[in-house]
Amino acid sequence: MTSFLIFLGIIAAVIMWGVGIYNRLVNQRNGVRNAFAQIDVQLTRRYDLIPNLVEAVKGYMKHERETLEAVIQARNSAVSSLDAAKADPANAAAMKKLGASEGALGSALGRLFALSEAYPDLKANQNMMQFQEELASTENKVAFSRQAFNDAVLVFNNSVENFPNNLIAGFFSFELASFLEIDSEEKRDAPEVSF
C-alpha cells in the first residue's frame, strides 16, 4: 500500500510539473500577443498621422503628387500587413510582410521629408512642425514596442525549445513565434524629420 501511494505521489508530481510547464508556455505566448498589441497601438497611431501629414503638405507640394501618392500607398500596404499580423503574431510570413511594409513606408516618408526641404514655407508651417514632432515621438515608441515584442518572442521561443519544456510544447503544438525584423540597417532607423 505504501509503495502504491508513493507511486501515486510521483505520478501526481509529474502531472503537476507538466501543468506548470504548460501554464508557463501559455503565459509566455500571451506575453508575445500582448507585446504585439503594443506595436499595433503605435503603428495605428503612426498610420493615422500620415494622411494628416500628407494633407498638410499637399498645398505646398502640388508638383510632387507622385511622392504623396507613394506615401499613401505605402501607408495602406502597411495597414493591411498590420491587420494580417494582428490575426496571428506568431506567423513568420505575416511578420516578414509587416517588416517589409514598414521599411517601404519609412522609405516613402523619408523621400517626402527630403522633398519638403525645398519648400521654406512648408518647413515653417505650424501644422507641419506638429506632425513632425508627433511622428518622431511615435517612431520612438514603435522602436521601443518592437524591442519589447522581440524580447517576449525570445523568452517564449527559448521556453518552447528548451528541454524538458519542448516535450510539453510539442505535445500541445506550441509553435515558435517570429521576430519582427526590418530588412536593412537604414530601414531600422526612424525617418529623419528635420525642418
The gap from C-alpha 163 to its chain's centroid, in whole angstroms, comes to: 29
Q: Which three cell numbers stand for residue 153?
A: 518572442
Domain positions in the chain? 2-188
User: Can you tell me the distance from the alpha carbon of 177 to that of 167, in angstroms, rounded to the nearest whole number?
Assistant: 17
CATH fold label, 2-188: de novo design (two linked rop proteins) (1.20.1440)
Q: Are 46 and 138 in contact (CB under 8 A)?
A: yes
DSSP class of residue 175? -
End-to-end alpha carbon distance in the chain: 83
Return per-residue pLDDT of the chain as tens, 195 residues: 788 899 999 999 999 999 999 999 999 999 999 999 999 998 998 898 888 888 877 777 766 778 888 889 999 999 999 999 988 888 888 888 998 999 899 888 888 888 777 777 766 677 777 877 888 888 889 889 999 999 999 999 999 999 999 999 999 989 998 888 766 444 445 555 554
Q: What is the pTM of this model?
A: 0.74
Question: At 91, is the secondary structure helix, strand, or coil?
Answer: coil
Residue 118 neighbours by CB distance under 10 Å: 11
